[in-house]
Amino acid sequence: MKGADYLECLLTKGKQRIKGEVRVNGAKNAAVAILPASLLTEGAVRIDNLPKITDIGRLVEILKALGAKVTFSEGRCIYIDSSDVHTFSPPPSLVNTFRASYYLMGVLLGRFGKVEIPMPGGCDLGPRPIDQHIKGFTALGAQVELEQGLVKIKAKKLRGAHIYLDVVSVGATINIMLAAVKAEGKTVIENAAKEPEIVDVANFLNAMGAHVVGAGTDVIKIQGVSELGQAEHTVIPDRIEAGTFMIAAAATRGEALVKDIIPKHLDPVIAKLREVGVQLEVGPDWVKVNGNSELCPVDVKTFPYPGFPTDLQAPMMVLLTQAPGISFLTENVFEGRFRHVDELKKMGARIKLGGRTAIIEGGHELISAPLRAMDLRGGAAFIIAGLISHGETIITGVEHIDRGYEQIEERFQQLGVSVERRIISKVFPGK
Ligand code: EPZ
């Protein structure tokens, strides 16, 4: 019943305590690179533990539009055969809708020596340049032109190079890896990002027959190969999704068992939550959160892995509104990643912004207010805010949340709280 006069929203009841357990799905930020990477081989690949989120759905449409044969099997498994892919220009209408489409640059350049693709879209976290991606492609011997919003890249032959990234960038690190695995000779990426998702992508590339060593450190070495073969791969668990549920349990003063995770990937989050006073028990592939304790104000600084993840900055901000006293939250990765602050202030959150630092006066109740999500992590934070506030909260912009969280309302229902997806009339919002 959607249409111009209706919009989808999430409705949360306030003053709820999480009590339950939830399984964590495959990592969005690994899967959105691994799917395009399957185009690097003419062999068939099998990828398991894919999250059922819209970014993945869009990528599958792009792969099909490029000529790949894609079949889903039971559960979360996909088979991709890209032997018939012969075009280097994905459909702009599909590519424009999300940022991770930039991985098609590295992949199509690596496969065909040529790619034409619109500048990447994505959520608004401030400027999101791709100069480091282009620096890497150029170093590998490609010519790059930006023409009316189109990125045109071509290379007679990609040759290994020594690339020193000016900025620690997840996207640039992965994109250069994708272009380099079939380049002639050796590539070294210095000042590389170290996120677990980068390791997962490298493991997938090596499963196809690439020679990537050092992923997860700040120096990655790639020995080019002439061709890649078949592979099977299971995507790692999503540490950001896991952290979101952990923070939600803490903020609602509830208890949660978050399962099927790699605890090591959550070290910075576990450490910081313990500093806040949250009790956590860590198992081999799970973590138990007990938020039923006094919360203390803390100083949080986001940094590239293994620092505190920028993708949990917004959910953490909501938790810190409940810790009596003054907390500081500094966003060191994206300069524009405070768009959720104004929405939270509508709920009575006492937050002051000073440059890259948010100063949070915690310990005051939030009052429900209509919230509009503008990016997926801010949207997830609004769900947490809705669960702890006084009254019912309507959250619009659900399409942002669905990009990175599978069936978010059902996952929170598994955790014992009421989050519902509704269709409301734009004309008569109350209906
Ligand atoms: C990836 O974005 C993730 N997205 C982001 O997750 C995540 O927040 C980010 O890495 C940091 O961990 C995907 O993996 C699809 P960056 P990416 O390149 O690659 C600057 C989410 O919520 N920079 O590591 O775009 C950039 O402006 C999303 O799941 C350059 O200056 O992030 C930023 O300040 C949001 N030049 C910093 O580097 C470049 O060429 C880190 O960006 C590239 C980046």
Output the DSSP codes for 199-243.
HHHHHHHHHTT-EEE-BTBSEEEEE--S----EEEEPPB-HHHHH
Pocket of ligand 1 (CB under 6 A): 28-29, 32, 99-100, 127-133, 167, 169-172, 193, 310-311, 333-334, 376-377, 404
CA 304 / ligand 1 centre spacing (Å): 9
Residue 121 has pLDDT above 80, yes or no: no
Q: Encoding tokens for residue 273?
A: 């939550």
Alpha carbons 372 and 380: distance in angstroms, whole number? 11
CA 121 / ligand 1 centre spacing (Å): 12
What mean pLDDT comes out for the span 81-108?
Answer: 88
Instruction: Identify which of 170, 174, 316 to mutate to test ligand 1's pocket (most ligand atoms within 8 A of the CB).
Output: 170
pLDDT tier at 124 (50, 70, 90 boundaries)?
Answer: low
pLDDT tier at 338 (50, 70, 90 boundaries)?
Answer: very high
Look at residue 9 and give its three-state secondary structure.
strand
Alpha carbons 144 and 113: distance in angstroms, whole number? 12
Residue 393: its H or E element: strand 393-396
pLDDT tens-digit readout, 378-397: 999 999 999 999 999 999 99
Please state whether beta strands 279-282 and 299-302 pair in parallel, antiparallel, or not at all (unpaired): unpaired
What mean pLDDT comes out for the span 275-302?
Answer: 97
| 123 labelled catalytic | yes
Distances (CA, A) of 288 to 132, 279, 291: 39, 8, 10
Q: Which residue is associated with the tokens 């009841």?
A: 13
* Nearest Cα to Cα of residue 64 among 80, 75, 48: 80
What mean pLDDT comes out for the span 126-136?
Answer: 87
* pLDDT the model gives residue 91: 85
* pLDDT the model gives residue 74: 78
pLDDT tier at 184 (50, 70, 90 boundaries)?
Answer: very high
What mean pLDDT comes out for the span 239-262?
Answer: 98
Report residue 123: phi and psi, to 5°.
-75, 160
Across the chain, mean pLDDT equals 94
Q: Which residue is associated with the tokens 């409940």?
A: 322
pLDDT tier at 99 (50, 70, 90 boundaries)?
Answer: confident
What mean pLDDT comes out for the span 195-204?
Answer: 98
pTM of the model: 0.96
Alpha carbons 265 and 276: distance in angstroms, whole number? 19
* pLDDT the model gives residue 411: 97
* pLDDT the model gives residue 147: 86
Alpha carbons 130 and 338: distance in angstroms, whole number? 21
Please state whether beta strands 19-23 and 255-259 pair in parallel, antiparallel, or not at all (unpaired): parallel
What mean pLDDT comes out for the span 121-136?
Answer: 79
Instruction: Identify which of 95, 128, 301, 340 to mutate to test ligand 1's pocket (most ligand atoms within 8 A of the CB).
Output: 128
Taking a C-beta distance cutoff of 8 angstroms, is the pair 140, 153 a contact?
A: no
